[in-house]
Amino acid sequence: GWCPLSPAGALTTQLLVEPPWRPAVLWDQVTLTCQGSGTAGATTWYKDGQLWWQKGPDHFTVTESGTYRCDRRGTGLSPHIRVFNERLVLQLPAVPLVEGDTVTLRCRG
């Protein structure tokens, strides 16, 4: 399922990632979804700190590595997510973790 990369908040913009593992890797066919209570259909995307896609869709499949974040008018900028183009990666679930949690790691290549 979809997992937020930041804690849920009523008045914040969140960036969701599928599949729900981090770090995200390009060859996983990562889909990013911008979610917030701001204006629907008015999503602005940023890549590597630069305006990248104005009035874009709420979700898309990533085709280039980089650092992404989105903006929904009314709830502001999301946290960022970096999508890597690595051959080998150690991943953990893209959910908030606290000390003492049991977590499954994945080594993938």
pLDDT given for residue 61 in this prediction = 96
The overall average pLDDT reported for the chain is 85
Q: What is the pTM of this model?
A: 0.80
- Domain assignments of the chain as residue spans, ordered by start: 14-108
How would you classify the pairing of strands 24-25 and 81-84? Answer: parallel
pLDDT given for residue 75 in this prediction = 82
Instruction: Give Cα 87 distance to the centre of its chain.
Output: 20
Identify the architecture of domain 14-108 in CATH: Sandwich (2.60)
Cross-strand partners of 64: none
Segment 27-66, tens digit of pLDDT: 999 999 998 776 666 799 999 999 999 988 899 999 999 9
Question: What's the rounded Cα separation, in Å, for the pair 39 and 85?
Answer: 32
Q: What is the largest CA-CA distance in the chain?
A: 42
Instruction: Evaluate if residue 7 carries a pLDDT over 70.
Output: no
Q: Is the torsion defined by CA of 1, 42, 79, 23 positive or negative?
A: positive
Tokens 């204006």 identify what position? Answer: 39
